[in-house]
Amino acid sequence: PYLAHATMEPLNCTVKIDGDRCEIWTGTQFQTVDQGVAAHILGTTPDKVTIHTMFLGGGFGRRANPVSDFVAEAVIVAKAAGVPVKVVWTREDDMRGGYYRPAYVHRVQVGVDKAGLPEAWHHVVVGQSILGGTPFEKFQVHNGIDATSVEGIADSPYLDGTKAKHVSLHSPKTPITVLWWRSVGHTHTAFALESMIDELAHAAGKDPLAYRLALLKEKPRFVRALETAATKAGWGTPAPAGRARGLAVHEAFGSIVAEVAEVSVEGGRIRVHAVTAAVDC
């Protein structure tokens, strides 16, 4: 689904204009861009704009957007008012006027060998590009492919031993504003990939941990993380009555994380009782 950043502290910015100079107090992740945007609004140069970076009450990428929306708004208001101004977005403003993690859909088809291991993998991803229209587009979008949309799949260790594999991407353009959101592409690729691995393990009649270890036997960091999380969580021992365990492992930005979740379904709703995580930073 589309997801809002929903930072704990609402977007806010304080601006004081003094002649051709400007001081800004805000929690920001994109100081250089904010500085340039403010200078453009005021008809001055970036060296005349001083930004005091405050604690930002949660950022997750929302406070780093290419149009510097909440900073630009405060500068425009202060310029018009002729006095120092503090702008604070309401929660409603934040939820309706934000930049969202794009909605994505995955279609995965896998052919398996006699042991139930993948020998052909066809994966289609559909979702808006978060890099389009940003300063990073020219560096990270090649031949129409936004690398962040397929990260975690195109470079997945699960597919290293697969003889035939094809990952394709469709990036539709819609009026909905989208942006990086926390772990970026991994927010959806990890879920889709690990869900498919569970389906394959089930089809092969194999334990989900054993199945993963067979695919990742040449990847010692993954093996260590999986085995550590599984051991600490009591994998292989009976779960409490009415509960079940599931596990997953994924690499993002050089860190490998394995997790075991113990859950139940109560009144049609999923309840998470415990999560055991092994993190190889």
pLDDT tens per residue across span 148-203:
999 999 999 999 989 899 999 999 999 999 999 989 999 999 999 999 999 999 99
List the beta bridge partners of residue 141: 146
Residues 125 and 104: beta-carbon distance below 8 Å: yes
What's the pLDDT score for residue 161?
Answer: 87
**pLDDT-above-70 percentage for the chain:** 100
Res. 277: pLDDT tops 90? yes
Average pLDDT over residues 210-225: 98
CA distance 149 to 185: 5
Sequence-distant (≥ 6) Cβ neighbours of residue 180 within 8 angstroms: 61, 64, 130, 148
What's the pLDDT score for residue 131?
Answer: 94
Res. 133: pLDDT tops 90? no
Kindly state the tokens that stand for 202: 């089930």
pTM of the complete model = 0.91
What's the pLDDT score for residue 70?
Answer: 97
What's the pLDDT score for residue 135?
Answer: 86
CA angle 79, 83, 88 (to 5 degrees): 80
Residues 150 and 167: beta-carbon distance below 8 Å: yes
Res. 215: pLDDT tops 90? yes
CA distance 86 to 74: 7
**pLDDT-above-90 percentage for the chain:** 95
